[in-house]
Amino acid sequence: MTPSDLQDARMDDCDEITSSPARLIPCRADADCSGVLSVSDIFSFLNQWFAGEDAADFDASGGLSVGDIFAFLNAWFAGCP
């Protein structure tokens, strides 16, 4: 499965509100967004982590730590649906 464009539609009591298209990445372990898991995902994630990018906070702890690397690798080895 590759990233796809989606539109978010929400209903309230008065009307329907539609947002602009959003990106959905169905598998967090697919770090390079190629649509398949490969070793390049590991290198892509590590590049993000060493650069201090927020996207590398894989365990959502609020900061980067070695735990993010282990969480990413755990997800990568588990595979994608």
Question: Read out DSSP for the chain?
Answer: ---EEE--EEE-SS-EEEPPPEEE-S-TT-TT-SSS--HHHHHHHHHHHHTT-GGG-TT-SSS--HHHHHHHHHHHHH---
> Each residue of 5-19: pLDDT tens digit?
444 444 445 656 666
> Each residue of 32-66: pLDDT tens digit?
988 899 999 999 999 999 999 999 999 999 999 99
pTM value is 0.69
